[in-house]
Amino acid sequence: RSTPKPSSAASDVYKRQILAGAIGNLIDRLFLGEVVDFLDFMIGDLHWYVFNLADSYVTIGMGIILYDSIILEKKRQAISNE
């Protein structure tokens, strides 16, 4: 059982995803004066978060990078120490 090392190409994709989300929000701020949120979810009376795709790109990209650098890195170190 081994945990593969992340490829630099995959890592670059996540970094670009974060950058794309940040640029998307920056463009909204510069041209509209605010970030436009357009995904608004409600389940009955429960009002979920309002967000846009740029927010999603930043959050997902950062989550994957954190998971790789914390969880998977520990597994890679444990495997290399065996």
Name the active-site residue from 12, 28, 37, 45. Answer: 37
Name the active-site residue from 12, 28, 55, 68. Answer: 55
Instruction: Report whether 25 contacts 55 (CB < 8 A).
Output: yes
Instruction: Report whether 61 contacts 17 (CB < 8 A).
Output: yes
Q: Whole-angstrom Cα distance, residue 27 to residue 65?
A: 24
Question: Is 55 considered catalytic here?
Answer: yes
- The catalytic residue positions are 37, 55
